[in-house]
Amino acid sequence: MTESPSRSGAFESAVDKRVEQFTESISFDARLFREDISGSIAHADMLADQQLISPAERDQIVQCLSGILQELENGEFQFRPELEDIHMNIEQALIDRLGDVGRKLHTGRSRNDQVSTDMRLWIRAGIDRMDELLAGLQKSFVQLAIQDGQVVIPAYTHMQRAQPVLAAHYFLAYCEKLDRDRQRLQDCRKRVNQSSLGTAAVAGTSLNIDREQTARQLEFEGLLQNSLDSSSDRDYMIEFVFCLSLISVHLSSWAEDWILWTTTEFNLIQIPQEFCTGSSIMPQKINPDVLELTRGKAARVIGDLQTLLVLVKALPMAYNRDLQEDKPALFDAADTVESCLRMAIPLVEGSRLKRENIKAGLDRGFLDATTLMEFLIKRGIPQRTAHHAVGDLVRQATRQNCRLSDLSLKDFQAFDPSLDASIYDVLGIENAISNFRSTGSTCPEQVSRQLSQWCERFQLN
């Protein structure tokens, strides 16, 4: 007769089948099998070194766990829902095959520290995958900046045309956002990469275990120092999902921009049709569904973060079974962001600005108005006075259905008789672009310097 590792002799009745179905988590935590076996092997090595099991027993356990790992990777392992989770399924398989030797593996640990260890290993690997994907997306934006960087595009505030910017400046803005996402993940990794293995259920253990050894073997940077904290802690997980939420918000913002840019009304960019779908009734439609789903999936990730925050907000110290429900939200957030990034990289790589359309419409919206105002400021006119004057000139140009650069010198001298033809040196899109000076602006020299830095970072020509 097989035994349930969590069902001790204190029970006088068998568990209700309905409870087995209600409490199982193997349906979603089975994906932790690699981490669980890695942690168990490290634990077995330590137990042998501490003479809590013999070297021969350690070798049997490690060999058996390696065989179970192979079965899991090949899809040959038979999960048993009545054993609740991946940890107990693997341990029971070990006991079924090794008997009392298998029963010794759990010496000096609890499922509480075992789960935490597995999750930290899984999140650590997830952070590394996310970082690689974010770097790939950054590289795609840099390549676009190289390709279309000298194109001038309108920048928007309040969804109204504001000022002209170089396309490279726009693309590199996303590199900056994604870089902060990577920095947050790396900072989060420091707190994730702390070992909880060996803190046991809640108070530690009286056995002479060596937590430092297992931490080194599993490549953790340090140890959690308080067993109560270790059992109850999920802030590392919430921090990771928070980082994912911000990534999803940045992706959603990018997707929203490009959804608008692909419309007939904007007509600024061509995205690859392989990332679009059609309509069941309107034959002309080429819909940017990947971008729309990227925008929509951000809601899921933000919802996953909220789920985790609400889950832990009122839990007493230390472990509570509520924490079983942390994994679906974690896995969903990570899977969703990873899938969005895997779509974003080739989509960005295959996109092209519609240069002729952009150029044809660039004179609309008085994008050089701010540069004109600053020209007046340089001549000693107070900012508010200059702002009001340029507003009057924009209104006059609107009535005449012309650009600011089309106004006559007399129109400008009506405001200030001292103005001369040099005023035209700041009017027009190209002149406006060339007049930017400040660090971090769309000044061509600034953008070129930044682009060179990004190219050097990604080893691009």
Active-site positions read: 158, 279
Backbone φ and ψ for 353, nearest 5 degrees, come out as -70, 145
Asked if 105 and 40 touch (Cβ cutoff 8 Å), the reply is yes
Residues 6+ apart with CB under 8 A from 179: 138
Q: What angle do CA 169, 170, 171 make, to 5 degrees?
A: 95
Give the pair of three-digit tokens for residue 419: 């103005």
Q: How far apart are CA 360 and CA 444, in angstroms?
A: 21
In this structure, the dihedral spanned by the alpha carbons of residues 337, 339, 340 and 343, taken in order and rounded to 10 degrees, is 160
State the amino acid at position 89 in one-letter form. N
What is the C-alpha separation between 175 and 194, in angstroms, rounded?
30
Residue 224 structure tokens: 């959690």
Q: How far apart are CA 96 and CA 1, in angstroms?
A: 10
Q: What is d(CA 309, CA 316) in angstroms, rounded to the nearest whole number? A: 14
Amino acid at position 370, single letter: T
**Closest C-alpha among 136, 241, 129, 126 to residue 178:** 136
- Cis ω on the peptide bond leading into residue 329 (within 30° of 0)? no
The answer for residues whose C-beta is within 8 angstroms of residue 328's C-beta and 6 or more apart is 28
Q: How many CB atoms lie within 10 A of CB 71?
A: 13
**Token pair belonging to 244:** 């994912």
